[in-house]
């Protein structure tokens, strides 16, 4: 029988029915008024309120109401009393979707979409760069997702990812915030420049490596061809030596991080290896070398992110030869399948609709798709439709900050191709989010918008249009999952 909420509460708050939960003699729920969202606890007496929650105690005619802000203290209490609101490892899940949420508002739409498919969401996913741009912390990111998981009564398990981390110190901050997934970015410890060195330089540098390592590389790799499923991966002597020069320090560090994670988390963590932050595509021979060396050291990974051929730029579809991408991607998928069946991870993976069918097919859905800014752009498009005056101010702020943000993001947008705001009616503003240059402009300038003078007005508008935003995110992620051909439930 549905729990009846007294009129004194429903007259003040909109209560999502999925958020209503019994806890002993109390009822815990989410309430939304015109200004904000709160966690509400209703009980016969104050003594019957569950421990751990902090807020304003109100006396109703026949019971008490504890009105709590959605802060870290109360998020921790939710995790304590409702363990399914905690993020968990998804290492045993076949298909996972990284749902980067820069606003702490998008998880409702992500959950609504994911519920239709045989996949699990990583609802809390942020990089250090995104935290710096938004003024959030890893704990903020996890807590925001906790409230939305509780509100949606989502009990199927969700992940949290400290994205593109490079140091054990930063990894520990993410782990302490409850993030069981770590995306280890090896770009700082990987000798990527050696990918372009001439033969003489490679040989000279190789000779400086440890003698035991050199002998093993010569005997185990040089001149060998390795069969991975349907694909043969040859490593000539120069390639084997180049891989040793490029990746030995990075693999040493990955092993160190893995041992650190096992000490702190046992087996309940997801380690993703990122080698995509380079200017050149990851050759299949290099991918194979890396995973073979990791396996040799008993480093178990959940996923690996190569740098693929073509352009995976922010906010727009795949740029490049789709057929050639499919040919090369198949080899990467076969290497993963033959070496532990870890997930291939697709970074900057949102909106790459042209290559989704091949990605789903070649991986057999052993994949992790990492998205981030696309949910932010859904919000931008929504405000262009619902709050055109605000959008115009956001667009202007984006133009003013574009050059500075180009130092942080690689895109090829030409802002001269974007129609001027003066030439567009309010009804035409949403169409800007179908124009690639405008999408990229707004995609990379989220930081100044979210932390500058528009912050308060922006979040007030998003609270006002929360349901419309959830519906729009759900529709957008339905498209992603459908084009990947992820099986439906």
Distance between CA atoms of 141 and 126, rounded to whole angstroms?
Answer: 7
Q: CA geometry: angle at 202 spanning 196 and 204, to 5°?
A: 145
Q: Can you tell me the mean pLDDT for 150-154?
A: 98
Position 207 confidence tier, pLDDT thresholds 50, 70, 90? very high
Lay out the sheet containing 56-59: strands in order across.
21-23, 26-32, 37-43, 64-69, 56-59
54 and 92 part of one domain: no
- Whole domain around residue 27: which residue ranges? 7-81
Q: What is the residue-averaged pLDDT of the chain?
A: 97
Whether residue 387 lies inside any domain: the answer is: no
In this structure, the answer to whether residues 287 and 360 fall within a common structural domain is: yes
CA angle 136, 269, 114 (to 5 degrees): 70
Residue 4 has pLDDT above 90, yes or no: no
- Of 42, 64, 81, the domain-final residue: 81
Confirm whether 211 is domain-assigned.
yes
- Does the residue 410 lie in any domain? no
Does residue 160 have a pLDDT over 90? yes
143 in a structural domain = yes
Structure-token match 């199927």, residue found: 156
Confidence class of residue 2 from pLDDT cuts 50, 70 and 90?
A: confident
- Summarize pLDDT for 396-430 with one digit per residue, the tens: 999 999 999 999 998 999 999 999 999 999 999 99
Residue with tokens 């922010």: 314
pLDDT in tens, 66-100: 999 999 999 999 999 999 999 999 999 999 999 99
Q: How far apart are CA 246 and CA 286, in angstroms?
A: 9
64 and 120, same domain (yes or no): no
Question: Quick one: pLDDT at residue 144?
Answer: 98
Instruction: Provide the pLDDT for residue 237.
Output: 98
- The answer to whether position 423 is within a domain reads no
- Looking up residue 104, the CATH number of its domain turns out to be 3.20.20.70
Q: Is residue 42 part of a domain?
A: yes
Report CA-CA distances (Å) from 354 to 31, 319, 477: 41, 9, 15
User: What are the distances in angstroms from CA 374 to CA 129, 147, 272?
Assistant: 16, 21, 21
Clarify whether residues 125 and 42 are in a common domain: no
Assess contact for 391 and 377: CB atoms under 8 A. no
- pLDDT score recorded for residue 277: 87
Same structural domain for residues 37 and 161? no
Which pLDDT belongs to residue 279? 84
Statement to judge: residues 26 and 139 lie in one domain: no
- Clarify whether residues 132 and 157 are in a common domain: yes
Please tell me the total count of domains within the chain: 2
Nearest 10 degrees: Cα torsion 277, 279, 282, 287: -40
CB neighbour list of residue 117: distance below 8 Å, 6 or more residues apart:
95, 481, 486, 487, 488, 489
CA distance linking residue 473 with residue 482, whole number of Å: 14
Contact between residue 143 and residue 123 where contact means Cβ atoms under 8 Å apart: no
Q: Indicate whether 298 belongs to any domain.
A: yes
Q: In the structure encoding, which two tokens stand for residue 127, read together?
A: 């990089």
Using the predicted structure, report yes or no on whether residue 1 has a pLDDT greater than 70.
no
134 in a domain, yes or no? yes
Residue 339 — pLDDT band, cuts 50, 70, 90? very high
- Please check whether residues 59 and 152 belong to one and the same domain: no
pTM: 0.97
Q: Which residues are catalytic?
A: 163, 272
Detail the DSSP E strand segments found in 356-426.
367-371
Residues 126 and 57 in one domain: no
Q: Are residues 146 and 269 in the same domain?
A: yes
**Hey, is 223 helix, strand or coil?**
coil
Clarify whether residues 57 and 92 are in a common domain. Answer: no
Q: How many CB atoms lie within 10 A of CB 118?
A: 14
For residue range 117-132, list pLDDT tens digits in order: 999 999 999 999 999 9
pLDDT greater than 80 at residue 395: yes
Rounded to a whole number of angstroms, the distance between the first and last alpha carbons of the chain is: 27
Are residues 100 and 58 part of one domain?
no
Whether residue 41 is predicted with pLDDT greater than 90 in this model: the reply is: yes
How much is the CA Rg of the chain, to the nearest whole Å?
24
Mean pLDDT of all residues in 334-361: 97
Out of 46, 81, 116, pick the residue that ends a domain.
81
Considering 58, 81, 104, which residue would you say is the last residue of a domain?
81
DSSP state of 365: T
User: 3 or 451, which is more confident?
Assistant: 451
pLDDT of residue 15: 97
């Amino acid at each position: 029988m549905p729990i009846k909420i007294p009129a004194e509460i429903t007259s003040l708050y909109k209560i999502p029915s999925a958020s209503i939960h019994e806890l002993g003699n109390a009822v815990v729920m989410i309430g939304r008024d015109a200004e904000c969202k709160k966690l509400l606890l209703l009980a016969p007496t104050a003594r019957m309120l569950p421990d751990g929650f902090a807020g304003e105690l109100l006396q109703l005619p026949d019971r008490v109401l504890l009105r709590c802000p959605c802060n870290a203290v109360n998020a921790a209490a939710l995790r304590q009393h409702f363990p399914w609101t905690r993020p968990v490892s998804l290492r045993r899940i076949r298909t996972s979707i990284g749902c980067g949420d820069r606003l702490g508002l998008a998880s409702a739409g992500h959950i609504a979409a994911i519920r239709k498919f045989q996949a699990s969401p990583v609802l809390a996913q942020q990089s250090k760069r995104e935290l710096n741009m938004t003024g959030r912390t890893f704990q903020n990111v996890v807590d925001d997702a906790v409230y939305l998981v509780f509100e949606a009564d989502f009990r199927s398990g969700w992940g949290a990812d400290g994205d593109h981390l490079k140091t054990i110190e930063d990894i520990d901050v993410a782990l302490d915030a409850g993030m069981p997934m770590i995306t280890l970015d090896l770009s700082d410890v990987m000798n990527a420049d050696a990918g372009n060195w001439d033969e003489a330089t490679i040989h000279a540098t190789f000779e400086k490596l440890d003698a035991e390592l050199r002998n093993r590389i010569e005997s185990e790799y040089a001149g060998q061809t390795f069969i991975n499923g349907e694909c043969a991966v040859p490593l000539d002597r120069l390639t084997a030596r180049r891989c040793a020069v490029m990746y030995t320090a990075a693999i040493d560090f990955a092993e160190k991080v893995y041992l650190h994670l096992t000490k702190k988390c046992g087996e309940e963590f997801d380690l993703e290896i990122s080698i995509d932050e380079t200017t050149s595509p990851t050759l299949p021979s290099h991918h194979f070398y890396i995973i073979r060396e990791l396996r040799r050291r008993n480093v178990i990974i959940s996923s690996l992110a190569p740098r693929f051929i073509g352009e995976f730029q922010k906010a727009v579809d795949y740029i490049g030869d789709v057929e050639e991408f499919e040919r090369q991607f198949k080899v990467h998928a076969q290497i993963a399948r033959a070496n532990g069946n870890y997930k291939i991870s697709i970074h900057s993976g949102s909106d790459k609709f042209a290559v989704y069918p091949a990605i789903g097919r070649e991986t057999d859905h052993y994949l992790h798709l990492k998205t981030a800014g696309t949910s932010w752009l859904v919000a931008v498009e929504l405000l262009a439709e619902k709050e055109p005056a605000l959008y115009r101010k956001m667009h202007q702020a984006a133009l003013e900050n574009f050059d500075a943000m180009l130092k942080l993001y690689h895109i090829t947008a030409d802002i001269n191709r974007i129609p001027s705001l003066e030439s567009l009616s309010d009804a035409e503003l949403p169409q800007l989010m179908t124009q690639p240059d405008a999408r990229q402009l707004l995609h990379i300038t989220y930081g100044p918008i979210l932390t500058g003078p528009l912050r308060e007005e922006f979040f007030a508008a998003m609270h006002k249009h929360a349901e419309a935003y959830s519906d729009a995110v759900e529709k957008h992620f339905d498209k992603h999952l459908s084009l990947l051909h992820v099986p439906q439930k």
